[in-house]
Amino acid sequence: MTKMLVTGGAGFIGANFVHYTLKHKPEYDVTVIDKLTYAGNPDNLKSILDQVNFVTGDICDRELMDKLVAETDIVVHFAAESHNDNSLREPWPFVETNIIGTYTILEAVRKHDKRLHHISTDEVFGDLELDDPNRFTEETPYNPSSPYSSTKAGSDHLVRAWIRSFGIKATISNCSNNYGPYQHIEKFIPRQITNILSDIKPKLYGTGEQVRDWIHVDDHNSAVHLIIEQGKLGDTYIIGADNDHVNNKAVIELICELMGKGADWYEHVNDRPGHDMRYAMNSTKLRTELGWQPQYTDQDGMRNGLQATIDWYTENDEWWKAEKAKVEAKYAEQGQ
């Protein structure tokens, strides 16, 4: 068995990754380290908790990370503060977890000579204009906009520097916007689904012309496994499912339609300051070098993936209901 340490494994993508790993990759013996911030929920792993080792702790804790990294073969690093809107209200936890936390992991990986895969985001590249034909590639220069994306960019720079200066055995992936089960209801898609389920109108920032390159979380995680197994050490891989033609307005209208509301049953609210316009990913390297293919593709793929996600939030209302009023009250303070 290969020992795998998953940081942030009680959050959205990390928990889906652990489920995916146990289902498709039985050769891994998984340990999760998670601080259980507001975004971490041990219930995300409830059905498989007896099959993983779960450690509650902070990735900034040097002693703890040194011990956990020493005991593992590979670290898959998802833990982060992940929400842009929160980073605009209070940036410090982003600096601490995303930068100092990643530094702490890098030092442990360096000392114990362990394999690392670092999970990052398209947002490190900044944004594109709506009419720009380009997509982000592994060579796109970094140009982050928010405290969130700049701290993720900082963490990527640390990983790249540790690869070059110390020769650590690491890979990096930059993925676009994920959706699927277990995503915190502060995020765009689950917020709107749970709004409709709570008889609240969905909330669209500004005009809603912004474009996100949506990818189902299982497609992200299948790519991560492929990179872990076959990726070239030291390299970066872009992960995206070619969904960069759907703007926020179209997504909200599709959610309304799939949930039996009129396509205009939503309201415009205050825009996000510094709001990135468009993200678009060119995942040619991952597809040609490693043979990756997403399962949920283009408009129909998004329709199928969204329907499955709507069903999940509908069937699992005990998972989100207690949080809903608090999340909406926080948004209401910003006129959102």
- Annotated catalytic residues are 122-123, 148
Q: Which strands sit side by side in the sheet containing 53-56, from one edge to the other? A: 53-56, 28-34, 2-7, 74-77, 115-121, 170-175, 236-239
328 binds ligand TDX (CB under 6 A): no
Least gap, CB of 100 to ligand NAD (angstroms): 9
Binding to ligand TDX (CB under 6 A): which residues in 175-194?
177, 187-188, 191
In order, the DSSP letters of 1-45 are -EEEEEETTTSHHHHHHHHHHHHH-TTEEEEEEE---TT--GGGG
Residue (110 or 184) nearer to ligand NAD, CB? 184
34 binds ligand NAD (CB under 6 A): yes
Q: Of 83, 160, 169, 287, which one interacts with ligand TDX (CB under 6 A)?
A: 83
Q: How far is CA 179 from CA 46, 102, 137, 232, in A?
A: 20, 24, 22, 27
205 binds ligand TDX (CB under 6 A): yes
Size of the site for ligand TDX (CB under 6 A): 16
Binding to ligand NAD (CB under 6 A): which residues in 97-136?
97, 101, 119, 121
- Burial of residue 63 (CB within 10 Å: 0-12, 13-18, 19+) is exposed
What distance in Å separates the CA atoms of residue 107 and residue 96, rounded to the nearest whole number?
15
Site string (143-182) toward ligand NAD, x via CB under 6 A: ---------x----------------------x-xx----
Binding to ligand TDX (CB under 6 A): which residues in 87-126?
121, 123
Which uninterrupted H or E stretch holds 237? strand 236-239
Size of the site for ligand NAD (CB under 6 A): 30
Dihedral of CA atoms 315, 55, 9, 118 in degrees, nearest 10, equals: 180
Task: Pinpoint the alpha helices (H) of 259-333.
Answer: 284-290, 298-315, 317-333
Site string (64-103) toward ligand NAD, x via CB under 6 A: --------------xxxxx--------------x---x--
- Residues in contact with ligand NAD by the rule CB under 6 A: 7-8, 10-14, 34-37, 39-40, 58-60, 78-82, 97, 101, 119, 121, 152, 175, 177-178, 184
